[in-house]
């Protein structure tokens, strides 16, 4: 199977005078076509830093080494202009906090139109139809009304769906989702995960799904890479990593998840009356 993204020995350091502070060390992974790679780790583990380094989103205070290829094209060392075009086109991005990704001074329709104008040659009328189609695809009601609204007038979950729909509309080969369910409520989280699962089942787009939540990754990841203190400490198929983790840190994350789920199920069952818990 051919890899759409191939990363080898990626290192990221922060320049502090003459010092180099390592943040990511010798990380290697592949993303196969139509598959989802889940990157699991706690805050500060280097998972988001890894993807930012690949996409040229770090400033000159950071030093990035190693090699990477997206659809056969080297990413590290590519010009800022080429990376900028890739980020909105062939590589889609869905970030953690949807509110921070929209300008509060402009309507949703204006901001969607700006993105579409950058990456397509649609006329004004065709662009308006495209935006309505995007919102309909994301199951957003009254799309014409939503296009006229400002970001603060929409919920975090709805803004996140706008971002996902906009990313998908540009026919990317790869979508990088960086903690896309973290900053929204649990009901919206469920809806967003349904959208990602639906995208994955279509099999046309590869995914990198970054999360600190093992439960979320268990829903969508084909392969998993676990990061801890800037290093990849475990990798393999999702089933293998979850069932046969060798690394102590990975086992700790899995045990934590199992403990939380056990307490949750115990609380659910404890709240049932005998009648509710009995067989019909």
Q: What percent of the chain has pLDDT over 70?
A: 91
Strands (E), 17-164: 19-32, 36-40, 62-70, 73-74, 91-94
| Long-range contacts at 140-148 (CB < 8 A, ≥ 24 apart) | 140/165, 146/108, 147/107, 147/108, 147/109, 147/112, 148/107, 148/108, 148/109
d(CA 12, CA 3) in angstroms, rounded, equals 23
What does the angle CA 158 – CA 4 – CA 222 come to, to the nearest 5 degrees? 65
When pLDDT is cut at 50, 70 and 90, the band that residue 39 belongs to is very high
On average, the pLDDT of the chain sits at 86
Longest CA pairwise span in the chain (Å): 72
Q: What percent of the chain has pLDDT over 90?
A: 41
Q: Return the pLDDT at 280.
A: 39
pLDDT at residue 14 is higher than 80:
yes
When pLDDT is cut at 50, 70 and 90, the band that residue 261 belongs to is low
């Amino acid at each position: 199977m051919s890899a759409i993204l191939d990363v080898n020995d990626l290192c990221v350091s922060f320049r502090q005078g003459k010092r180099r502070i390592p943040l990511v060390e010798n990380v290697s992974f592949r993303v196969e076509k139509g598959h989802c790679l889940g990157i699991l780790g706690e805050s500060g583990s280097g998972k988001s830093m890894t993807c930012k380094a690949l996409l040229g989103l770090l400033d000159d205070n950071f030093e990035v080494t190693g090699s990477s290829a997206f659809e056969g094209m080297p990413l590290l060392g590519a010009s800022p202009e080429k990376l900028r075009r890739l980020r909105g086109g062939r590589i889609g991005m869905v970030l953690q906090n949807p509110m921070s990704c929209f300008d509060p001074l402009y309507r949703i329709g204006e901001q969607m139109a700006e993105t579409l104008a950058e990456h397509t040659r649609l006329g004004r009328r065709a662009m308006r139809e495209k935006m309505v189609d995007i919102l309909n695809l994301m199951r957003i009601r009254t799309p014409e009304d939503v296009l006229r609204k400002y970001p603060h007038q929409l919920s975090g979950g709805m803004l996140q769906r706008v971002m996902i729909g906009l990313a998908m509309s540009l026919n990317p080969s790869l979508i990088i989702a960086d903690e896309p369910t973290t900053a929204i409520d649990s009901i919206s989280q469920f809806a967003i995960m349904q959208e990602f699962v639906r995208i994955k089942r279509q099999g046309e787009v590869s995914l990198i799904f970054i999360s600190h939540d093992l439960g979320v990754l268990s829903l969508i990841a084909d392969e998993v890479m676990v990061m801890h203190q800037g290093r990849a400490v475990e990798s393999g198929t999702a089933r293998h990593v979850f069932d046969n983790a060798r690394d102590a840190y990975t086992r700790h994350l899995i045990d934590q998840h199992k403990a939380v789920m056990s307490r949750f199920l115990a609380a659910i069952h404890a709240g049932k009356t005998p009648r509710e818990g009995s067989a019909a």
